[in-house]
Amino acid sequence: MQPDELLLILYKEARKRIVAIAGTFAVVTLLTLVVGMVIIPRNYTASTTILAQDSDIIQPLLEGRAVPTGVADRAGHARQIAYSRRVLEQILDIGGWSSRNPGPIERDRLMEDIRKATMITAPRPDLVQIDYRDTDPERAWRVTEAFGSLFIEETLAAKERESREAYEFIDKQVQDYHAKLLDAERNLQDYRSRNADAQPGSAVDVNSRISSLRTQVEQARMTLLEQESRDGAIASQLTGESAVSAVQTRENLYRTQMIELRAELDRLMLTYTERHPDVVRIRHQLEDLQRSLATEQQRRAQSGTSAISSEEAQLNPLYNELRSQQAQARREAAATRSRMGIAQSLLNEELDRSRRIAASESALAELTRDYEVNREIYQDLLRRRENARVSMGLDQENRGLTLRIQDPATMPLRPSGLRFMHIAAAGFALAIALPLGLLFLLVRFDPRVRAPRQIVQKTGYALLTVIPAYPTPRERRRQTFKLAMSAAMVCGVFLVYGLLFAFKLSNA
């Protein structure tokens, strides 16, 4: 069928079934109204925004001394607090659910419904937004406001509790390590009191003392060797000296000089003649010595003395000097030997002391290491305890993390989600589309001939004329009545919607 034919047929069918179409319109719209008013509840959503500020003027001043507690995931932290059982118990009291004295199962179901109706988000890192949906606008407002207040209260209490617990834990560790430090110090002092050599710097002193004594022993040994060598040299000299020496007489001296001069004369005669001045001089000296020798022999013969008298014998002074030096060298060697023995004895004592120090060094090192480790940990814990004390003071005065209501919750005046006008518009659209769709399906799939052109298409014969149908007066009256009834039903629907809308405006 052509579009104009289809529209004409639809119009005719609509006039025939005007009452059914109007009835369908009224039933659908009224059912939509009932669904929107009774079955589908109206939800009201209240919202509040909480501002969380991590930094203020105190944090830069106390940087490195205080650790303000904070939360990175604001939304997750808010959900943990808001969905906790303690907070939901208070929400049941504030929302009025506890007044019905629900049982344990009913209370759990109400808490689960509250969790589902609550949405917590973080639009920005420093903002937390809490949205609560309820069928009662006043209750939605009260619950949302309570959620904001309880979140701030629980967050600040959790921060204060966290800092206090941290301080108490560190303080307990300080006390424990103080006891350990005192115990380690007592053990170290007891060990040092029992071992005189286990003193700080003992090993250095002993090593320097050993080095000094070794130097003294080596020096004494070298001195002793020198003195013994000197003694040996003096003893060898003494073997070639006699204790008594004989003094030569003038006769012996003259003879000795004559021997020397004759030797000199023989040497000169090998080179010079008898007339050489040196030869002549030596001959004159020999003559003089011979006259002197003769005179001395004549004098001794007159006196009657022997060749060597008692006056000509005396003690050897060189021998006495060597004996004195030998005695002095032996005394010095004895003193050096005694000094070297004393130094060697002291060296042995220091070596024994060094071995004792080395034996006690491992135990002393272990005790010292325990003391040093405990002292370092104790001092670090003292600093941390003071930092924790300052942090606890900040949290007690709410200085570390500031929470405040940025946008307080307000009473919702309009329901959220599908409103009544949306349901009414959907109902009107469905009430119009449903009968028109059924009417179109009827015309489309009805096998009856509804247009003159269909006869020509089906039979192939030419159509001579078309006789129109004319309604009788009775049919006209019946048609008018149907139109009036249909108009009344449509007007009744609009009247009901208008009265309901006026009632809602008056309540608002």
Can you give the pLDDT of all 508 residues of the chain as single tens digits?
667 777 777 777 777 888 888 888 888 888 887 776 665 667 778 888 888 765 443 444 344 444 444 445 667 778 888 888 888 888 888 888 888 888 888 888 988 988 888 888 888 877 888 888 888 888 888 888 888 888 888 877 777 777 788 888 888 888 888 888 888 888 877 777 776 665 666 667 777 888 888 888 888 888 888 888 887 887 777 676 555 555 556 777 778 888 888 888 888 888 888 888 888 888 888 888 888 888 888 887 887 654 444 444 455 667 677 778 878 888 888 888 888 889 888 888 888 877 777 766 677 777 788 888 888 988 888 888 888 787 777 666 655 566 777 778 887 777 665 566 767 788 788 888 888 888 788 777 777 766 777 777 777 777 777 777 777 888 888 888 888 888 888 898 888 878 877 877 776 5
Rounded to 5 degrees, φ, ψ at 270 are -70, -20
The secondary structure of residue 224, as a DSSP letter, is H
pLDDT at residue 398 in the model: 58
Looking up tokens 């604001």, which residue turns up? Answer: 74
* Neighbour count for residue 24 (Cβ, 10 Å): 20
Rounded to 5 degrees, φ, ψ at 184 are -65, -40
- Dmax (CA) of the chain: 228
Token readout for 98 is: 């506890």
pTM above 0.75, yes or no: no
- Three-state SS annotation for 18-44: HHHHHHHHHHHHHHHHHHHHHHCCCEE
Instruction: From 84, 68, 135, select the one nearest 415 (Cα to Cα).
Output: 135
The answer to whether 123 touches 129, Cβ cutoff 8 Å, is yes
Give dist(CA 363, CA 361) in Å, integer: 6
Token readout for 200 is: 């700080």
Give dist(CA 503, CA 222) in Å, integer: 131
pLDDT at residue 418 in the model: 59
Give dist(CA 261, CA 253) in Å, integer: 12
How far lies 19's CA from each of 10, 257, 421, 495, in Å? 15, 192, 26, 18
The answer to whether 41 touches 420, Cβ cutoff 8 Å, is no
Residue type, 235: A
Beta strands across the sheet bearing 44-53: 118-121, 127-134, 44-53, 402-407
Beta strands in 93-126 (DSSP E): 118-121
CATH superfamily of 44-170+390-407: EIF_2_alpha (3.30.70.1130)
Give dist(CA 113, CA 41) in Å, integer: 15
pLDDT at residue 122 in the model: 83
How far lies 439's CA from each of 21, 28, 451, 487, in Å? 9, 16, 17, 19
Token readout for 192 is: 């040092």
Give dist(CA 188, CA 413) in Å, integer: 79
* Neighbour count for residue 357 (Cβ, 10 Å): 19
Segments in 397-449 forming alpha helices (H): 420-445
The answer to whether 382 touches 122, Cβ cutoff 8 Å, is no
Which burial class, exposed, middle or buried, applies to 42 when counting CB atoms under 10 A from its CB (0-12, 13-18, 19+)?
middle
Domain with CATH 3.30.70.1130 in the chain: 44-170+390-407
Give dist(CA 425, CA 421) in Å, integer: 6
Strand partners, 63: 66
